[in-house]
Amino acid sequence: MSHSQTSTSQDASLHGWRRRLAPVRARIPGLLICITIALATTFIADHYGGPTLLYALLFGMSLHFLTEQGPCLVGVEFAARTILRIGVALLGVRITLEQVAELGIGPVLTVVIGVVSTIVVGAALARMMGLSRDLGLLTGGSVAICGASAALALSAAMPRNEVAERNTILTVVGVTTLSTAAMVIYPLIVGALGLSHSDAGIFLGGTIHDVAQVVGAGYMISDETGDISTFVKLLRVAMLVPAVMVFMMLFRRARDKGEGQGKVPMFPAFLVAFVVLVLINSLGVIPAGVREGMTDLSRWCLVTAIAALGIKTSFQKLAVVGWKPVILMLAETLFLLGVVLVCLYTGLAEW
């Protein structure tokens, strides 16, 4: 082979590699922006307090102008979809089947009743208020299960379009704000009602939206309350699997018709990974250090994804919707509060 032929072959090979790496290189600018926001907001939350996801969302929304510039858009889209699903899948390392079994049938029934009824009531209230059923299902699911994380996971199983992304942002802002308020107010309710440490744990774990706020409120009362509230909360997180599967069935028609910018997968990989990680974690084969690292990675992925969703959304789009979604989420929160209290006072939660 002559020198010219060798040079031509090398040039063709180099061109092929560049062509394969082009999609990766296109994602780097936008992805770096999202990671930078995640780093900044995590630092602020760790040192000064406050909800990291809400900070990331607001920081991202302040950079909405980046979506009007080509170089960042591809990376932002990648973070809002792929990184999001990775983060949701990794949530599985926080749950074991043994934790669920230790709670007993009472808390399990309380959680199931609370989750199912809140989602149904959310969809009904949304229709009564003139809002879409999709928004009611999304807000109901996020309030009932695990706040912002559930909002991101459930939205991943819904058709992708501009309205869906706006609904996701509204839900994340609403449940994060309500969860932060609940972390302060609900321990006061526990004291006013004179609940025992065990009942207080079931109450806090069954009503507060986000895991971090449940942990903060529970251990604010006692170690026993903190442990029980965390277990009950993780049971609610476990309800994410059947909830996502039901959402896939509900939106199957939209998937078949190809409505929106994307289709809903029949059985998404992130859900399979979530279930597999729960089962593996239940076997106790994941070392504590690895499990902790995967939990941290999940948190970083979710913060990066919410930063991307913030970048894609403007305050003007949110203002168009008005106060109805806020009232809807507040009503769902109060409904869930009532359901858990009824289960406690009727003795169902203590079976």
User: DSSP alpha helices (H): ranges in 49-146?
Assistant: 52-62, 70-78, 84-90, 97-102, 105-128, 133-144
**Mean pLDDT lowest for which of 114-118, 241-245, 329-333?**
241-245
User: According to the model, what pLDDT value does residue 346 have?
Assistant: 86
CA distances (Å), origin 15, targets 8, 10, 29, 71: 10, 8, 22, 21
What is the mean predicted confidence (pLDDT) over 157-167? 76
The per-residue pLDDT for range 336-349, each reduced to its tens digit, is: 999 999 998 888 76
Q: 12 pLDDT band (50/70/90 cuts)?
A: low
Distance CA 8, CA 281 (A): 52
What predicted TM-score, i.e. pTM, was given to this entire model? 0.68
Please check whether residue 324 is in contact with residue 78, taking contact to mean a CB–CB distance below 8 angstroms.
no
Contacts of 215 (CB under 8 A, 6+ apart): 226, 229, 230, 233
Location of structure tokens 């995590």: 42
pLDDT at 141: 92
Residues paired with residue 262 on neighbouring β-strands, in sequence order:
160
Domain ranges for the chain? 28-350
- Model confidence at 263, pLDDT cuts 50, 70, 90, reads very low
Asked whether the predicted pLDDT for residue 272 surpasses 60, the reply is yes
Contact call for residues 129 and 141 (beta carbons, < 8 A): no
Dihedral (CA of 108, 113, 118, 123) sign = positive
Dihedral (Cα; 266, 89, 146, 282), 10-degree rounding: 110
Length of the chain: 351
Task: Check residue 12 and report its DSSP letter.
Answer: H
Among candidates 59, 109, 90, which has minimal Cα distance to 310? 59
CA gap 331, 4 in Å, rounded? 74
Q: Per-residue pLDDT for 246 more than 60?
A: yes
What does the mean pLDDT of the chain come to? 80
Flag the least confident range among 10-14, 74-78, 221-225. Answer: 10-14
- Return the closest-CA partner of residue 241 out of 211, 270, 215: 270
Under 8 Å between Cβ of 151 and 241: no
Q: In terms of Cα–Cα distance, which of 187, 88, 140, 78 is closest to 335?
A: 140
Lowest mean pLDDT among 15-19, 192-196, 216-220: 15-19
Query: Which residues make Cβ contacts (< 8 Å) with residue 345, sequence separation at least 6?
Result: none
Report pLDDT for 262: 46
